[in-house]
Chains A and B, each alone.
Chain A
Amino acid sequence: MIAVIDYDTGNLCSLGNAISRLGADYIITDDINTIRAASKVILPGVGEASTAMQKLRDKGLDRVVGELTAPVLGICIGLQLMCSWSEEGDTGCLGIFPNRVLRLRPSAQFIESGKGNLKIPHMGWNRIDSLKTNLFKNIESGTYQYFVHSYAPEIAENERYAIAVTEHGDSFASALNLRNFYGTQFHPEKSGAQGELIIKNFLEL
């Protein structure tokens, strides 16, 4: 059974619909035992990072997620909460990935390019490059995915966990992986056929 973690952060319809279109069954739950017993776990979420983190703590889920041994996929805020810290609301996060989550900023190169203001939120379709792991099996580098966010995981010095990179003003880690933990800053459930293939790949891990 696939468990989609319910911690009151937004719309789970599109994710549920995407899993259903792949012919899989899922349960939306905040029950710790159900989550521990699941064969796959998805941590979704939209909204503000410190509020979302507090909701995870309120449900006692902050201690559960990092100890899961089944494949886990964080999406958008879900990914950000799996990082070490977020600039949004200056909140400590789960620390599964050492990366910090920073507000999107234009690089010096972007400012010099004269392209105008960096648009925030980063909203729309953008490319994912430097793809690694079977999460991106049969996905070509440069594929477009749908993004909606104002903060993103940094690419650290000697970055080891980024499995996708995207540029908006500057480069950021658009997907991360460590052991059984995966996360995407983009929304595969809203990203057409290629996005569905990424969810399918996750379900087959």
Chain B
Amino acid sequence: MVAKRIIPCLDVRDGSTVKGINFNDITRVGDPVSMGIRYSEQGADELVYLDISATREGRSTFLNLVTQIASNINIPFTVGGGISTIEHAADLLKAGADKISVNSAAVKSPSLISEIASKYGSQYIVVAIDAKFDGEKWEVMTHGGTKSGGRELFDWVNEVQMRGVGEILLTSMNHDGTKEGYPVELFRELSSILTVPIIASGGAGSASHIADVLTEGRADAALAASVFHYGTIKIADLKRELFNQGIDIRL
């Protein structure tokens, strides 16, 4: 059985990791490469680096950083943040990224997904989706959740899969930041209609939330940021706990 994956997500601005972290023996706090190495040593199954730079200089720093990450880290990593063209996707591949994640640009022009998948393979493209429940339906949001993407979630995930995506990273905006857990029913429903892997993101406050979304929710992976960065959940402890519950986990 393929193991359920635990994925820490690092936000990077102008070449530095934004969120703090409780690794007391890292000399250069905020260095995304050192943090990635440390997470990988703790047992992270993959890493996600999101570029949140707002400037052109910041983005070019990020490209250099991707080269550094690729030469220092021996587990797969995904990069995302503002990727909107096939040229940008090509630059990141050349720099050594294993996968890229595309969000708003895919909603705006869905053909980008098919183009990247056919040129570089499905394994290279992750579509990240921010969805918001409005009481009746799940709406796809873009631009960091600030704008409506004009798509309904189930309709969108079907199109994304049909266009050849390698996996889907889904964040519920209703749950993100609450630390009260994931929308387990939603993930279970999506998992029953999709064949591509689903990464659950947003809402983890405890190990049991992660266990729930991986078992009841049938998600293939769980991604989190602050609970790992602030040490609320330690990856090695989390994985041991999930393993002890009988979940397929790589220790």
Contacts and interface: CB of A to CB of B under 8 A. Distances in A.
Contacts of B21: none
Given A13-B70, A21-B74, A117-B192, A126 B1 contact: yes
Contacts of A127: 1
Contacts of A48: 121
A194 to B, nearest CB: 10
B2 A11 contact: no
Interface stretch (B129-137, B140-148, B194-202, B228-236): B194-202
Interface string B1-12: 111110000000
Interface-centre pick from A46, A119, A168, A191 (highest chain B CB count, 10 A): A119
A116 B46 CA distance: 24
Nearest to B191: A116
B218 interface: yes
Given A11-B98, A20-B71, A116-B218, A46 B123 contact: yes
A196 B75 CA distance: 11
Contacts of A120: 195-196
A46 B121 contact: yes
B51 interface: no
Interface in A96-118: 116-118
Given A17-B71, A21-B74, A46-B121, A124 B197 contact: yes
B120 interface: yes
A64 interface: no
B1 A190 contact: no
Contacts of A119: 2, 195-197, 220
B169 to A, nearest CB: 12
A71 B95 CA distance: 29
A117 B194 contact: yes
A130 B4 CA distance: 22
B74 A10 contact: no
A192 interface: yes
Given A14-B96, A117-B194, A125 B166 contact: no
Interface string A137-179: 0000000101111100000000000000001100000000000
A45 B51 CA distance: 27
B167 interface: yes
Nearest to B96: A13
Contacts of B166: 121, 123, 148
A60 interface: no
A123 B195 contact: no
Interface in B60-111: 70-71, 74-76, 93-98
A195 B74 CA distance: 9
Nearest to A11: B93
A117 B195 contact: yes
A10 B2 contact: no
Contacts of A11: 93-94, 96-98
B9 to A, nearest CB: 16
Nearest to A48: B121
Contacts of A187: 76
Contacts of B3: 124-126, 144
A132 interface: no
Given A47-B121, A125-B3, A191 B196 contact: no
A116 B215 CA distance: 11
Nearest to A76: B123
A203 interface: no
A189 interface: yes
Interface of B: 1-5, 40, 45-46, 70-71, 74-76, 93-98, 120-124, 166-167, 191-192, 194-197, 218, 220-221, 250
- Of all A-B residue pairs in the complex, the 6 with the closest CB atoms, nearest first, are A13-B96, A144-B250, A148-B123, A125-B250, A126-B2, A125-B3
30 contacts: A10-B121, A11-B93, A11-B94, A18-B74, A46-B120, A117-B191, A117-B192, A118-B195, A119-B197, A120-B195, A120-B196, A121-B197, A123-B123, A123-B166, A124-B3, A124-B4, A124-B5, A124-B220, A125-B5, A126-B3, A127-B1, A144-B250, A146-B76, A148-B123, A149-B123, A168-B2, A187-B76, A189-B74, A192-B74, A195-B74
